[in-house]
Amino acid sequence: MDGTGTLMMNRFNTKKNSKYEFKKDAAMKRGEYEEIVSADEKICILKWKDNKVNSWMEYRQDCRANKMKTKDILDLLAFRLSVSEYLLAGSPRAAGDNREPEFAEMPSSSRYRPKPLPSVDKQRDGYNHWPVMDTLKEPRVCRAIKCTSRTRCRCSKCDVYLFLTKDRNCFYDFHN
């Protein structure tokens, strides 16, 4: 739900500004409500005469915001039953049910951001650059120029990944 607010009837229910007119208060029974939706379905206005309808109104707006089909939206009686079931039995949803799936399913490797390269002075100082093999689920892209190989070998001083096998030594190329 994007938001709810309370309108003063005199801001809305003037014939000049709106095509629709709600029933007069005196004509409404307690618990009765009237609902209108704007043509683009972005705004839903409900007039009610009993605060108990309030949470139902919010539920209906949630449903609309989530683009639920009208037949899937509970009617007022069913909603009242589900609210009392909820109050008696606690939340029917399992814990963690409403976590954002985008975050829950994001693989950890896609969150990795390569570290910036060290300064050229540091990179070529020829002192204390040691290859270390990291325990990684996925190897990372080698940082040697124009290299796209993936490796688990990292320079301990520069803190960047550099391909290193007996056939190709990006670790050496990077530091010289």
Q: Which residues contact Zn ion by CB under 5 A?
A: 129, 142, 144, 147, 149, 155, 157-158, 163, 170
Give the integer Cα–Cα distance in Å for 11 and 145.
66
Backbone angles phi, psi at 153, to 5 degrees: -90, 130
Tokens at 3, concatenated: 């938001």
Give the integer Cα–Cα distance in Å for 74 and 78.
6
Query: In this structure, are residues 72 and 63 in contact, taking their beta carbons and an 8 Å threshold?
Result: yes
Query: In this structure, are residues 114 and 143 in contact, taking their beta carbons and an 8 Å threshold?
Result: yes
CA 51 to chain CA centroid, Å, is: 31
Give the shortest CB-125-to-Zn ion separation in angstroms.
9
Give the shortest CB-127-to-Zn ion separation in angstroms.
9
Nearest CB to Zn ion, comparing residues 43 and 117:
117
- Residues paired with 58 in a beta bridge: none
Give the integer Cα–Cα distance in Å for 148 and 126.
24
Give the integer Cα–Cα distance in Å for 4 and 1.
8
Nearest CB to Zn ion, comparing residues 53 and 155:
155
